[in-house]
Structure 1
């Protein structure tokens, strides 16, 4: 039974991928992590022994602490966070319980190296439209909430990636790019172990809008129109990305929770 200081895997799974998801802090020992080097989506590895050094770097929102079985390490770290003013709980049963529930886990081997501040760094072409906004949304919501995205001229992407140790995406002849009929967003979902019905539904919409196949999903023309509108509203790529995150948050929540809901006029309640 879940205690007052714990959250179940089922409840946490409803928070993952949403902008209100707490900080997810993985404090498994090195040995436990080496035995299964995967992460709960959106979680960041931290050393339980250095909690006093890094707790000040957490974003000012609640935290959920994850160890192997949800016992002393996670409860100890959560207690340290609470005494520092951070609302912190523990994942009931830890990483083992999450895995036993069959929920998604992200293989660390697929992630680019982190910078000195522990962030993954990604680079792509400037003036993003669809795929180059959808991919950062996926990464920030399901992989690394602290990820950094660089937008540069197309001819400079490869050199910037090399000089700044960044992962290039959505350009030709790189790992994170289109593959046959799939767009980069599709590829990331598959490679990062994030396949789920809502994300695959969203991926079809993104693919339709990004590759001029608007017949793939009824929602694809709407995403295309909204994306092109955002590109005209913002001259700064990072401001456009920030606005685009909200757009994809809405599409994801529709894809996950509201596909069966209809809207009409007059309302059913008033007609009744």
Structure 2
């Protein structure tokens, strides 16, 4: 089991990235949240912290960086990446109408739950997004 570390205060990119890490990179990942990035455990893999390799790179959010660094080519994950990117960066790079709602849900959860609970609650949300986008790609249209 690997330990991954990020800043406290889980929002869209952190929650989505943690889900991606467990789904496609490290199924047994354990997450640690820190207020001060300088106080992160030495053996932990940092993500979504300013200046680390697995954070925002160029115009990419952390989720996109993880996809690129781990050569994850699944088109469904890239469709989720578009929504996460738009919710996180709001730069209109992608047409992702679900981004605003997703962002509001994650921000709301972060107001009433601690970081570990937010990850536990949002895992099924991202599983659902994956299933929806996968079916959409297979059907060539939005599922009914």
Provide the TM-score with structure 1 as the length reference.
0.49
Measure the CA separation in 1 of the matches of 2:33 and 2:25: 19
Distance 1:166 1:253, change over 3 A: same
- Whether the aligned pair in 2 keeps the contact of 1:124 and 1:152 (CA below 8 Å) is yes
2:50 maps to 1:175? no
- In the TM superposition, 1:1-272 aligns within 5 A as 119-153=1-35, 155=36, 157-162=37-42, 165-213=43-91, 216=94, 217-234=96-113, 236-258=114-136, 260-261=141-142, 263=144
Residue correspondences, number:
140
> Which portions of structure 1, spanning 4 or more consecutive aligned residues, are displaced by more than 4 angstroms?
none
CA deviation map 1:29-81 (0-9, x unaligned): xxxxxxxxxxxxxxxxxxxxxxxxxxxxxxxxxxxxxxxxxxxxxxxxxxxxx
- Whether the aligned pair in 1 keeps the contact of 2:135 and 2:143 (CA below 8 Å) is no
Measure the CA separation in 2 of the matches of 1:135 and 1:215: 19
- Whether the aligned pair in 1 keeps the contact of 2:12 and 2:88 (CA below 8 Å) is yes
SS in 2 for 1:149: strand
Distance 1:124 1:246, change over 3 A: same
- Whether the aligned pair in 2 keeps the contact of 1:214 and 1:220 (CA below 8 Å) is no
Shift of 1:261: 2.9
SS in 2 for 1:151: strand
SS in 2 for 1:188: helix
Give the number of the structure whose alpha-carbon radius of gyration is greater.
Answer: 1
1 or 2, which has the higher helix percentage?
2
Gaps of 5+ in 2: none
- Whether the aligned pair in 2 keeps the contact of 1:131 and 1:185 (CA below 8 Å) is yes
Measure the CA separation in 1 of the matches of 2:26 and 2:126: 16
Gaps of 5+ in 1: 1-118, 264-272
Provide the TM-score with structure 2 as the length reference.
0.89
